[in-house]
Homo-oligomer: A and B are copies of this chain.
Amino acid sequence: MPSSSSSSQPSQVRAAIVGSTGYGGVELIRLLAAHPYVTVASVISSSNAGEPFAAGYPHLTEIRTDILDAVDPELIADKADVVFFATPHGVSTKLASQFLAAGLKVIDLSGDFRLKNRDSYAQWYKKEAPQQDELERAVFGMSELFGDEVRGADFVTNPGCFPTATTLGLYPAVKAGWIDPDSIIVDAKTGVSGSGRGLSMAAHFSEVNENFKAYKVHQHQHTPEIEQTLARAAGGPVTVSFTTHLVPMTRGIMSTMYASLTDKSRTTADFRELYNQFYEGRPFVRVRPEGTYPSTKEVYGSNYCDIGVLVDERTKRLTVISVIDNLVKGASGQAIQNLNLMMGWDETTGLTFLPVYP
């Protein structure tokens, strides 16, 4: 059960969600409904403003009876204390500063403010990046790695789904210098919900079902985000091989990662101890017992990131297997975890539900 950081219960924080009708938005609504200190005060959609929210999501019949608001910063500033952007790339670039200026806290689930190098953003996202000073202001909210920076911040850029699973899986080993950063190969797999609710052949049931495919090989826009974070651990530039695949399932990400040991005498037990120490006191990262490794269903619907580490004695490589629910720890759950940190609450507040299994 959530515990507040002081003896008196906090007053309710009012949240607005821009892009509430996408999967990230509707997952924020699901999770925040169980949060003791947050009320969703405004659900916002540029395309469906004026329509009842539940018309597009009948599972929320009798639960969310409100009408979708338009994107009206003045109105939102009046209704809310914090704004979540669950929008496509390019939206928060234009809007975030307005809300910050109006005194709201901002948590951006899109990729706009993640890359601190504007050229890199332009290259991988094919859009113009936000201004450099705004980029600097946005704290990169990988909660377990940079929680200290998130605490008390008013503007957080929430990590991408693949970078969350991948970076949490590699950071301790890179930081410790136990693997060669130049040898890192990331073979990532995701459920279909990662591409959102928009219509495309890549999300057409008859094309995806009973199919396994690679996509954006060598070209995924999450690549520089992973490298940027690992560079902080390595103390210098890191370049990784990153390949993404689509799994015929709705939720879940697994990153299977390979890297060469710098000291070939290190064992699986050594790495387990390293990871356990690194993530001590961080309840959402679970390092699995030796000889075991997680599957995506074991974190389904929850905010956990589960990690298995194994040394291959034959090749002297480390294999790391890291799984998350892409919509929770990979998006909306981590966003709430960041809100908890920003507000000074326990980071688990409202996020303690168990995985849905089976």
Contact = CB atoms under 8 A, between A and B. Distances in A.
Number of copies: 4
A212 B250 contact: no
A29 interface: yes
Contacts of A352: 33-34
A47 interface: no
A114 interface: no
Interface string A181-220: 0000101010111000101110111111111111001100
Contacts of A312: 218, 241
A301 B354 CA distance: 11
A69 to B, nearest CB: 20
Contacts of A8: none
Contacts of A36: 1
Contacts of A205: 192, 203-205, 208-209, 248, 250
A254 interface: yes
A210 B250 contact: yes
A296 interface: yes
A142 to B, nearest CB: 21
Given A209-B249, A355-B59, A199 B197 contact: no
A58 interface: yes
Given A57-B357, A209-B250, A243-B319, 15 more contacts: A1-B36, A34-B34, A34-B353, A59-B300, A61-B286, A191-B206, A191-B212, A199-B199, A204-B204, A209-B358, A212-B295, A217-B310, A218-B310, A241-B312, A247-B247
20 contacts: A30-B356, A61-B289, A62-B286, A63-B354, A185-B185, A185-B317, A199-B199, A205-B209, A209-B248, A210-B252, A210-B297, A210-B300, A212-B247, A212-B254, A214-B293, A217-B293, A243-B256, A248-B248, A248-B249, A301-B356
